């Protein structure tokens, strides 16, 4: 028997039907989440990447630069611990940790529950730091307005070709840890080329949260997205 759905392991059609039903239900809830964000005038941004790409440090730097003009909230997703949430909490912004256990992604139902833990009437911007994984998080729509995928220079530049779903559904790719590029054999041009084969309209920012390279471009991207939402 299949542990996921209880069907016979050889019944491929049954497995597909269950998966389609799960994704359809998730998509419906994602639409509801987007409507909630729209009603409150909140820009939602979903950050995806492999583990260790620098999402949390980027959020810390971003919050420090934006806090004087935008009210920010953060949802953290991890299999265990509240360590990332504790780091964000120290910045003074509202944060909610989702501990997923053995689930390798956030889904729209998890986000829906988390949204009700925030003072939505006071927020301008909500970041969702998804579970570190380049596969499952890209499959489950959350209802955010933008998907941002981070690819660090300490990973292989072949990640877009090997994990295309994350890049196919992304609006922006951030090449992170650019300060470490001279110490690696990461080919930024190749990574961008492969990603844009998958998603021709993909925007790209080269960034280092430690040296602040590209940080102004990232902040301008956020400001532009907020203005478009309000407009």
Domains of the chain: 12-230 (3.40.50.300)
- Average pLDDT of the segment spanning 124-145: 94
Q: Quickly tell me which residue has 């050889």 as its tokens.
A: 10
Q: Rounded to 10 degrees, what is the CA torsion of 58, 61, 63, 68?
A: -150
pTM (2 decimals)?
0.89
pLDDT of residue 102: 78
CA distance 187 to 163: 17
CA distance 63 to 57: 10
Q: What is the 3-state secondary structure (H, E, C) of 72-88?
A: EEEEEEECCCCHHHHHH
The answer on pLDDT for 12 being more than 90 is no
| Token pair in block for residue 85 | 């949430």
The confidence band for 6, taking pLDDT boundaries of 50, 70 and 90, is very low
| H and E: helices and strands count for the chain | 9, 7
For 176, half-sphere exposure in the C-beta direction (CA atoms, 13 angstrom radius) is 25
pLDDT of residue 25: 93
pLDDT one-digit tens code per residue, 37-69: 999 999 999 999 999 999 999 999 999 999 999
- Average pLDDT of the segment spanning 117-143: 94
pLDDT one-digit tens code per residue, 73-105: 999 998 888 899 999 999 999 999 999 887 889
pLDDT of residue 17: 62
């Amino acid at each position: 028997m299949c542990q996921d759905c209880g069907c016979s392991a050889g019944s491929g059609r049954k497995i597909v039907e269950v998966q389609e039903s799960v994704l359809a239900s998730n998509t419906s809830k994602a639409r509801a989440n987007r409507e909630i964000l729209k009603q409150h005038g909140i820009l939602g941004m979903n950050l995806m990447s492999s583990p260790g790409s620098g999402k949390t440090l980027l959020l810390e730097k971003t919050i420090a630069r934006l806090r004087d003009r935008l009210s920010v909230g953060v949802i953290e997703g991890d299999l265990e611990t509240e360590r990332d949430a504790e780091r964000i909490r120290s910045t003074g912004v509202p944060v909610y940790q989702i501990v997923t256990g053995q689930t390798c992604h956030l889904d729209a139902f998890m986000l829906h529950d988390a949204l009700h833990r925030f003072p939505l009437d006071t927020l301008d911007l909500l970041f969702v730091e998804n579970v570190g994984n380049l596969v499952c998080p890209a499959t489950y729509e959350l209802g955010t307005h933008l998907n941002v995928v981070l690819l660090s220079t300490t990973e292989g530049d072949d990640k877009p070709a090997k994990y295309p779903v994350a890049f196919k559904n992304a609006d922006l790719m951030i090449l992170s840890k650019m300060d470490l590029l001279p110490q690696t054999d990461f080919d930024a041009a190749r990574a961008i080329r492969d990603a844009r084969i998958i998603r021709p309209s993909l925007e790209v920012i080269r960034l280092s949260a430690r040296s602040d390279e590209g940080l102004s471009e990232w902040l301008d991207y956020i400001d532009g997205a907020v203005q478009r939402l309000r407009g």
